[in-house]
Amino acid sequence: MSTIADNPSDIRPFRIEIPEEQIDDLRRRIAATRWPTGELVADRSQGVQLSTLQELARYWANEYDLGRLEQRLNALPQFTTEIDGVDIHFVHVRSPHEDAMPLIMTHGWPGSVVELLETVGPLTDPTAHGGRAEDAFHLVLPSLPGYGFSGEPTDRGWENGRIAAAWATLMERLGYSRYVAQGGDVGAAVTDAMGRQAPAGLLGIHINLLALAIALKDVLPAETEPERAAHAALATFTTDGFGYFLEQTTRPQTIGYSLLDSPIGLAAWMLDHDTDSYYKISRAFVDKEPAGHLTRDTVLDNITLYWLTATGASAARWYWEFGRFLAATAGQAPPPVQVPVGFTAFPGELWNAPRSWAETAYPGIAYFHEADRGGHFAAWEEPEVFVDEVRAAFRASRAAG
C-alpha cells in the first residue's frame, strides 16, 4: 500500500500494492486451519455452519483471484489525508456532470468500501446507467478510522461524533461547500451524528438502519402489526443475535487476537452478523446461488480486505467506543437533527423499522420508503434498488442546494 508523502493534511493519491508474500501467507494459514466438529443443529443457531465455512475456505484458497481486490480499488481514484491525527483513506469519484451533488457515503461493520463499489457508476454517471443527469453525484467513500486502508486511532474517543466531524473536515478539504451524506450500519450512526452536528454545507442525510432503535426501544410504538414485528426483531437481535455486538462493545482486544491470527476465524466472525445476510452468503458458497451482488467473490473481496490490512481488532474498537457513548448518554435526549432526513427500510434488515419508528427518531422526516427487496448490506446486495432510493431521498435537498 502506498501514498505520495507530503504535508499530512494534503490530499495524497493512493494505490494498493499487496506483496506476494502476504498472499502466500494467507494461503498457508487457510490450509493450516484446525477445524471443529460440525454443529449439532440443522440451522445457524450454534453459529456459522461447518459446511459453509469449509466451502468458503476451499474457494478462497484455490479459486478466488487474490488480485481482485487490488484491481477493483486501483481502478478508482483513491486518496489519503490526515484528519485529527488519523490517516483517512477514501475513494473520490467525480461525476462527468459538473453540477452533480457531492455525496459522502459511510460503510459499516463487517463491511468496508467494498460494499459500496457497485453503486459508484450509477451514482456518478447516471446517464450511462439508465438515469438522468440531474441525479448525478460526486461521490466520496471514506474508510472508517481503523478500517481498511485508513489508519488506526492511537487515542480513545473515535465514536460517531468525532468521525462525523472528521467527515465534515474531509468534505471541506475537498472543496465541497454543499453536500449530502448517507450511511448504513456504523455508517448510519455516523451519518446520524452529522445530521445532529449540522456542519456548514450539509443539506440532508439518508440512512438505511435505524441505529437509534436500541436506545429508543422503550418509546417506539408497538400498536400495529409492523410495529410489533419490528419490536420482535429488535428483541431477537438483543438476545440471540447480539454476540458479536456484545463482545466488540466490551472486549474488542480479546477477539482481535483471533481475528488477526486466523483468516478462517476472521471469516466466521464476519459471516455471523445477521440471519438474513448469513443465509444469503451461505447459499452463495454452498449452493452457488448468490443473492444479488452478494457473490462468493465480492464477499471474499471484503474479508480479504480485513485480512490484508490486519484491521479486525481496530475495526472492532468502534463498538467499544459506541458502547461507552451509549452508557454516557443513557436517558438523555439527543440533540435534534437539523437537516432533512431520508430513510429507507429494507425488508431483510436487522429490524425492519416502520414509518412510525423513523418518525419517532426523526420528527418531520422528509423521505420514507419501504423497499421491496434487500437486507442489511443493501448497497452491496441490491445496488440498483439502493441507488434509486438515494436519488429519491436527495431530490429535495438537491433543489434546496
Active site amino acids:
185, 319, 376
In order of 118, 239, 281, 282, the CA distances from 288 in angstroms are 20, 31, 10, 9
Element (H, E) at 213: helix 213-216
Class of residue 162 by CB neighbours under 10 A (exposed 0-12, middle 13-18, buried 19+): buried
In SS3 terms, 332-382 reads as CCCCCCCCCEEEEECCECCCCCCHHHHHHHCCCCCEEEECCCCECCHHHHC
With CA atoms as reference, report the closest residue to 385 among 368, 398, 371.
371
With CA atoms as reference, report the closest residue to 106 among 82, 89, 83.
89
Report residue 160 as a C-alpha cell. Answer: 460517531
Distance, CA of 124 to CA of 135 (rounded, Å): 8
Q: Beta strand pairing status for 12-15 and 2-3? A: antiparallel
Distance, CA of 107 to CA of 364 (rounded, Å): 26
What are the two backbone dihedrals, phi and then psi, of residue 321, each rounded to the nearest 5 degrees? -65, -40
The DSSP 8-state label assigned to residue 202 in this structure reads E
Distance, CA of 340 to CA of 360 (rounded, Å): 14
Strand order in the sheet with 101-106: 2-3, 12-15, 78-83, 86-93, 137-142, 101-106, 179-183, 202-207, 341-345, 367-370
